[in-house]
Amino acid sequence: MKKKDSSKKNSNTLPGLELAIEMTAQRDHMSLTELFLGQLHMVPTMIAARVFEVHCADGRKDYTGIPMDKLIVRELMNDMEKPRPFSDFAGLNNCIQGSFSSHGALKPYQQIMLPIPGANGQMRVLLLEAELIDPDYWRIINGLLAVYSNLLLTLDEKERDKLTGLLNRQTFDDKLTKIISYYRSQAHREGRGKGSSWLAVLDIDYFKKINDEYGHLICDEVLLVFARLMEKNFRSTDLLFRYGGEEFVVILNCCTKEGVVNALERFRHVIEGNSFPQIDQLTVSAGYVCLQDCMLPSTLIEQADQALYYAKDHGRNQVVSYETMRKQVDAPIAVEDGDIELF
C-alpha cells in the first residue's frame, strides 16, 4: 500500500509484494522475525516493536482460564533467556491492566498487544509502542501481521516430528549449535553462572520387544503417550525432541544440576507409574551431560549416549550423568554379545 501522497517516493515506504516475497524466502524464525520487526519500525510513529513467547508459570501447555499474572514471557527465539513475569515488561503489563503511558506533553502514546497464534498450542504476542498510528499504516501493520503469523505456523510445523508433535532431529541439530555458540560468545564476559544448559537422552526400555510382540500401531500409541507425558512433566521452556525411533532428547536451559536431576527422576517415576496402551508398565533410562562451549555438538551427544548406555547396562530404569559414569568406570567394560540387550 502506498502513502497518501503518491507523488513523493520514499525509500522507507513499506513494500507490498516485494516484501511478501522476501518474507516467504526466510527459512527460520529468527530471520523472519527480524525482517518483520524491521518493517514495523519503518512506520513513522513507531517507537518499539517486539515479539514475545508466552508460557504458563507452572509449566502447563493449556492456557485456558489461566490468569495473565500466572503467565511468564521471553523474547521470541531467545531460548537462553529465563522467562519472566508479565509485570517485568512495562508495555505488556500496561496492556494487561488496560492502562497506558504518556510520551511527551502533546503526543498520545500507545502500547498495544496483539496475539499471534502458533502450532502445537504455542502462544506469542506482538507488543507495539508508538505514537498515534495513521489508519493507512494500521492496515499495513495488520496485513504484515497476518503474513508473519501464517509463515510462523509453517515454520512451526516444519520443526515438528509428524507422529509425536515434538521438535524433530533437524531442529535439534540447529538448536544445539546455537546454544553452544551462545555460551562461546558469553564465556569471556559472564562465565557460566548458576544456571547452565543440559542435554539428556531418554530411551524407552525394551522397546524392541514391545514392537515384536505388539506391532507398529501399538508402538506408535506408546510413543504418542510418552511424548504427551514429556510435555506435561517438563517445563514449558524446556526443548523436547524426538531424536529417532524410541529415543528422545531434552535440552534444559537456565537450570542447576540439582534441577536437572530432579526433573529427570520425576519424569522417570511418571513413566514407571503410567499405564500405556496394551502394556501394563514401561520404564525409561536416561543419560545426561552439561553443555560445554568448548565441545563439538557431536561430542556432547556421544557423552550423553555413553551415560545412557551405562544406565542400560546397569539395570535400566535409571538416570545417569556422564560425569558420574566417568568416575565409576576406569575402563570400558567388555560385554559379550547376547549378554544384554541395550535396546
Alpha helix (H) residue ranges in the chain: 17-24, 29-40, 90-97, 135-158, 169-187, 207-214, 216-233, 257-272, 297-313, 322-328
Q: What are phi and psi of 158, to 5 degrees?
A: -65, -30
C-alpha cell at 38: 524491521
The DSSP secondary-structure symbol of 272 reads: H
Burial of 293 (0-12, 13-18, 19+ CB in 10 A): middle
Residues 6+ apart with CB under 8 A from 248: 166, 201, 202, 203, 226, 227, 230, 240, 241, 242
* Cα dihedral value 98, 102, 107, 110, nearest 10: -30
Can you tell me the distance from the alpha carbon of 48 to that of 277, in angstroms, rounded to the nearest whole number? 50
Tell me the torsion sign for CA atoms 17, 19, 22, 28.
Answer: negative
Residues 6+ apart with CB under 8 A from 287: 200, 201, 304, 305, 306, 307, 308, 309, 310, 311, 319, 320, 321, 322, 325
Closest CA to 167 of 227, 77, 118, 83: 227
**Is 157 noted as a catalytic residue in this protein?**
no
Can you tell me the distance from the alpha carbon of 275 to that of 273, in angstroms, rounded to the nearest whole number? 7
CB–CB of 250/227 below 8 Å?
Answer: no
Which position among 246, 247, 258, 302 bears the catalytic label?
A: 246
Q: How far is CA 50 from CA 39, 84, 89, 127, in A?
A: 12, 15, 11, 5
Residues 6+ apart with CB under 8 A from 150: none
Q: Among all residues, which ones are annotated catalytic? A: 246
